[in-house]
Structure 1
Amino acid sequence: MLKRMQDKGYDFWVKLASWTAIIMVSLMIMAKVWAWLATGSAAMLGSLTDSLLDITATLINFFVLRYALLPADDDHRYGHGKAEPLAGLAQAAFIAGSACLLAFHGIERLFNPIDISNTGFNIGIAVSIFAIVCTLILVFVQNIVVKKTGSIAIKADSLHYKGDLLLNASVMLAMILASLGWTAADAIFTIGVAFFLLYNAWQVGVESGTHLMDKELPDEDKEEIISLVGSHEKVYGLHDIRTRQAGKTKFIQFHIELDDNLPLIIAHQVADEVETLLKANISGELDIIIHQDPLSVVSKSQN
């Protein structure tokens, strides 16, 4: 009953963060479309492009996460966690393509600059301030959700939107400089936004590839596993530890070394206690496989 309540709480907070992102980014998109049409600013177009990518990524993550959280079934015995990095690779390709198109637009505007009227300037500044306020609200909610759930997906999303705060600030700076006669600033900042998007696409792609290639858990996690297993009084050691992560699930496999004369029922009990110990101290959902080895057999294999 307690576990079901915890799962329900997790779902509530994650959904709250997802819906907040959808609502805030939708408001920013509507404002930025109006501002871009009114000002013709390339930097504003860059910011609009980023917001369109944001809401696309948020919607994809929302539906993919629901699928990735499905329990294992007969056709997917290891669960559906790898749906998350697969979607990440698709998002990375989409973001990279959009960034390249935006860079070409910025280069074209560099050679064919346009003046921004006072009305357009005022609209652009107002919309940029509005976008910053919306992003601050979103990041505030996401920080609360991360503290409540520890969700890696929401934490990564929050880091991205914190970067958007800098993006919206750069749009304001570009329009201010353009209004002062530095017309090239609009194009330069647009190209800068394109590189910013390419950098984000690279990060998403690398992280997704890491999960798909079954990279080992971080060294600190493995050291914690070894320490926890070794703390059991009946475990003399462990070897052949293997780890990976797919979505929210961490897969952990290893052999424990036990006394030769330990009854099978006790050896099984020790393995259960070690599994319980790991699940109580390591965050996330764990899928653990433990093999019991007699200590004398391990010693002979090492000689």
Structure 2
Amino acid sequence: MSFVPVKDLLQKAQQGKYAVGAFNCNNMEIVQAIVTAAEAEKSPVIIQASQGAIKYAGIHYIAGLTKIAAKSVSVPVALHLDHGTSFDQCMLCIRHGFSSVMIDGSKHPLAENIALVKKVLEVARPLGVSVEGELGKIGGTEDDISVSEKDAFFTDPVEAKTFCDETGVDALAVAIGTAHGQYKGIPKLDFDRLREIVKLVSTPIVLHGSSGVPDDAVRQAISLGVCKVNIDTNIREAFVYAAGKAIQDNPKEIDPRKILTPAREAAIETIREKIRVFGSSGKA
């Protein structure tokens, strides 16, 4: 099966009142874990690659691994660029077969953000590639993108309407209290703000920095209109902790397969749990 546009998956999720999980990949085992979990849950899925993952693994490996993975399962799979920060990065991913790209212009003033998104859309839309934008700054660190607490700010609902009306973007990432990376405490989401955004905007809403957000809060966000939920840190935690335990249990082990197999299994279970929370099981 070839990649499907994220737009198609999110429109169905919006109608069905569930969210599609967007899971970040960094290596072969995590790619395998994402599609294995999705197939087991009979759920559509979005594989995401950040600029950091592309720099680490190489665009050819990311594109090649994920294409093979998508063909190995029966469920719909999309390949998405997470937090692309430049027009050139988006074009690179489109040339290599990504079915969706995110152009994150949230650091720019509203007018510049809109102009950047429209520039990417001008190329992506005729090719059937979905485009995600972001409004508001989500705190924390995502690979080489870092936003301090003092620089983070929530999405303004009125600006969100202007942004979506002027761009026609396929998905909108909003800042309502989540953060990238590991949380120091329990995040408190601004559900009133989310309600106001959804009231003004018909564009599918994306929740970034969702690792560590309590399941009940994620479910409530989905019930209010979130259609795409991003998960990265939880997968890394499960993968690395399981690999570390395998080494600790057998410190003389030199076969990487015996270290990475339990790590992959742990990632599969984490992803399956998230898919169930998002309500997309059986929606493929």
Report the TM range for the smaller structure's normalisation. under 0.3
What is the TM-score of this pair, normalised by structure 2? 0.24
Higher relative contact order (CA 8 A, sep 6+): 2
Rg bigger for which structure?
Answer: 1
Q: Which structure's residues are more often helix, by fraction?
A: 1
| Higher normalized strand content (fraction of residues) | 2
